[in-house]
Structure 1
Amino acid sequence: MFTDRHLEAFRRDGCVVIADFISPDTVADLRQRIDGLLQSFDPADHPLTTFATGQTQEQKHIGDQYFFDSADKTSFFLEEEAVDGQGRLVVEASRAVNKIGHGLHLTEPVFAKLTHSEHIKDIARKLEYEDPRVLQSMVICKQPGIGGAVPWHQDSTFLYTQPLSACGFWLALEDCTVNNGCLEYIPGSHLATPVTRRFVRRTDSNGCGTEMIDIPGVAAASGGDGVERASEMKIEVAAGSLVLIDGQVLHRSSHNYSPKSRWVYTFHVVDGKCTYDQRNWLQMPAGGELTRL
């Protein structure tokens, strides 16, 4: 499934596609469960927390208690355009959800089975993880017409370890095209673009909240990302494909103005031998630990 050629391309480009990684039957099972979760979403039982990615140089990010408590739960986060200025839904509830997360590998058996499959473990071994740990598992819906754009970013900014170790496993559950907001990335940017900032919980008197902070000794040494943005590549893939994304590679996705959704299941792996500190926004409940793969 994950060949030496895939590994070579991943090391070189920071991103690689493995077509037909999961079967149509598995895709159907995952989609059926997602549909069930979307139909069960009741705004009366959940806060209308929108998912705002913002620009990494700004403070436009979510950071309420519902967000912080989602590490081991099935939580619902809404598209920004699904909620009006008065905090009311402007579309039906099941079409308002941007993502479901961040603990699907713990709460949902069908996602847990896939996440802990031998094929996934084989990739982790070939990527030379010594103690692979799973975090931030989620479904991203990219809803028709209102699916928000995600700006250029590096996953290790949000899933920071010392040294860096994050890798994204991104599974397409629908065909992902330019029209419905497929992934885009800059090949080789993981080798040329240092991670200079990190996304952390705020520690001031404002309580809940998040902020971007400089990484000492890295931000000062960086004179820009050093990458030619014109080299970006669009990743159009069929349902069932797996996209591996190095935590340091620059990537994004555009707004979905099309009439078709773009469902994916994604999770990240970090190495348990690396330091994952208490400033990271995602923390397991007291006494817990990041899930061993």
Structure 2
Amino acid sequence: MDYKLLKNVLPAPLCQKLKSEALNIVESIRGPRELSIFTTKNDDARDSYFYNSLDKISIFFEEEAVSNGKLKYSKLDSTNKVGHGLHLKNEVFRNFSFSKEAKSLMKEFGFKGVDIVQSMIIFKNPKFGGEVKPHQDQTYLYSYPNTIKGLWIPLEVSKVENGCLWVLPSKEEHLLKERYMRVENRTFVEKVNDVSWSDEDFIPIEMNIGDVLLFDGLLPHKSFKNTSSTSRMAYVIHFKDQESNYSKKNWNYSDDLMRVSLDK
């Protein structure tokens, strides 16, 4: 399957607990001396703070929220995302990521065991929560064979008005368009297949608290800028089948991925 929307499968109190912890993290976290901006406009704009975040809890800010190296708004309102090791370093998110609820969702893909490769909280704050360009997660999290999957868990209502996900459905498996690689501290994008995506073919995935979107790493998806007055926070976990290989050229390659057994 390229994606599957499950309705009302997580209890609201659990989602609220994750949201509250996300707010606590932003309140307590100390960012880098030089604020790190996250944008999908330019993949070459990643910095060392980003690359070192694979097993940490790091904070990234919206481009529009930073001026002359300082935040123009509150830290919470300015936050783009927090990642990429929440499943490793935060007790609340770690407990959920290895919970029976999360395992049940991961088992939907037919895996007996998975390796979690990254986790993050996406804030999509009001007024300037940044646009995310169309992309495939397999581009950045390359496994062979492709078994990259994702759980997209809304911690707030996600609608067209506040920048919900848009996906590109297909009856056949999508081809990988490009790969983002990091080799000896040098990053580059390599074209893999000559494919194009029409904006008109993307469809919105509106979600309520308790819903979960399961999606394949080859699924093209995007989101528009949040110009509404309400935020659209979500927790996202990416993982792969434990039998597949994770490329050493991935920006977040590690010999020590966290394994989750699904046969219990």
TM-score, scaled relative to structure 2: 0.91
Residues 116-141 of structure 1: per-residue CA shift (max 9 Å, x gap): 12232233334122431112101000
Match of 2:175 in 1: 194
Residues 238-258 of structure 1: per-residue CA shift (max 9 Å, x gap): 112111111111110000011
Residues 27-75 of structure 1: per-residue CA shift (max 9 Å, x gap): 22111111111212344x5531111112xxxx54442211111111110
Higher percent of residues as strand: 2
Distance in 2 (CA, whole Å) between partners of 1:50 and 1:61 is: 12
Match of 1:138 in 2: 120
1:52–1:61: 8 Å Cα contact kept in structure 2? no
Distance in 1 (CA, whole Å) between partners of 2:217 and 2:150 is: 7
Distance in 2 (CA, whole Å) between partners of 1:52 and 1:257 is: 16
Please tell me the root mean square deviation across aligned C-alpha atoms, in Å.
1.8
2:138–2:218: 8 Å Cα contact kept in structure 1? yes
Of 136, 153, 156, which aligns to 2:138? Answer: 156
Rg larger in structure = 1
Task: Give the superposition deviation at 1:166.
Answer: 0.7
Task: Give the superposition deviation at 1:87.
Answer: 2.0
Distance in 1 (CA, whole Å) between partners of 2:104 and 2:123 is: 27
Q: Which amino acid aligns with 2:10?
A: I
Distance in 2 (CA, whole Å) between partners of 1:48 and 1:106 is: 23
Residues 249-283 of structure 1: per-residue CA shift (max 9 Å, x gap): 11100000111111000011112222212110012
The answer to whether residue 35 in structure 2 is matched with residue 74 in structure 1 is: no
The answer to whether residue 150 in structure 2 is matched with residue 168 in structure 1 is: yes
Of 219, 235, 258, which aligns to 1:291? Answer: 258
The answer to whether residue 20 in structure 2 is matched with residue 32 in structure 1 is: yes
Match of 1:63 in 2: 46
Match of 2:187 in 1: 210
Of 169, 184, 207, which aligns to 1:237? Answer: 207
Distance in 2 (CA, whole Å) between partners of 1:231 and 1:72 is: 36
Identical pairs, percent: 31
Specify the SS of the correspondent of 1:137.
Answer: strand
Consecutive unaligned residues in structure 2, runs of 5 or more: none
Match of 1:256 in 2: 226
Aligned residues: 260
TM-score, scaled relative to structure 1: 0.83
Consecutive unaligned residues in structure 1, runs of 5 or more: 1-10
